[in-house]
Amino acid sequence: MIAYYPRLREGAGPGLVPKFGGLPWGLPQRLWPACKECGGPMSHLAQLPHEPRAMPIGDGLVLFLFKCDRDSVCSFWEHDGGANAVIQVERAALGDVATTPPAHDEGPPPLLREIGIVGWDEKDDGSPPELEAAFYGYASFDGLPDAIAHPHDWESAWRTKSGGVPYWTANGAQAQPDIPPGRLLLQIDNWLELEDGSTAEIANFCSDGTAYVFVDRATVPPTYSLFINR
């Protein structure tokens, strides 16, 4: 299946550019999500404007990802635990300056390393389209041949992408506590490979995990879910 793999660099320019980490651009502070477990504002994980192929969320829309990254170790890996969030905002509703997190008694959330997305490379992820459904069930995925389930031997460069089927970790198609409805929109590996050959750890994904963003387009508006699998 066709997927889109980001070209990454240290840091990102100002404005509404696609990136991981840093501060969100123009997000109304009232929309900054708080963790339902510890009550503190979450860390900004990604800013993703609509792109027709690589990020097809709707013209004029921007997706913001957040997760709790505090030392309290809230259950940020669960898609329904309230310790992460996916927010869709109309571009017209955004301001023209980077947004700082709301004040909190325990101080601001950790600022995640800012990694700019320079562009997206279109590639075949190695999965035949007729087997797509098998990637969304633990038993069905476990029955796939290794050459299809893990066509790239878990190389990090193939584990951060948009579209295609989920490139699961060695534990297979399992999530905590279960896989949410929908299909893969985006996945982000714990370690990102940059264009200069270096690597960057983006956030706490349980040391060696991968974050998955699913979109359920059966709802209006679409429903987004974020979870982390090891």
- For 81-118, the three-class secondary structure string (H helix, E strand, C coil) is CCCEEEEEEEHHHCCCCECCCCCCCCCCCCCCCCEEEE
Give the pLDDT mean for 54-64: 97
pTM for this structure?
A: 0.96
Provide long-range contacts, Cβ within 8 A and 24+ apart, for 191-199: 191/156, 192/8, 192/20, 192/115, 192/156, 192/160, 193/8, 193/156, 193/157, 193/160, 194/8, 194/9, 194/10, 194/115, 195/7, 195/8, 195/9, 195/118, 196/9, 196/10, 198/10, 199/156
Give the pLDDT mean for 74-91: 96
Query: Mean pLDDT, the chain, as a whole number?
Result: 94
d(CA 58, CA 54): 11
Which CATH number do you get for residue 55?
A: 2.30.320
Question: What is the total count of domains within the chain?
Answer: 1
Per-residue pLDDT band for 106 (boundaries 50, 70, 90) equals confident
Could you report the per-residue pLDDT of 116-158, keeping only the tens digit for each? 999 999 999 999 999 999 999 988 999 999 999 988 887 888 9
pLDDT at 156: 83
d(CA 161, CA 4): 5
**Domain coverage including residue 129:** 2-229
Q: Report the percent of the chain where pLDDT is more than 90.
A: 86
- Given a cut of 80, whether residue 176 has pLDDT beyond it is no
Give the pLDDT mean for 19-33: 98
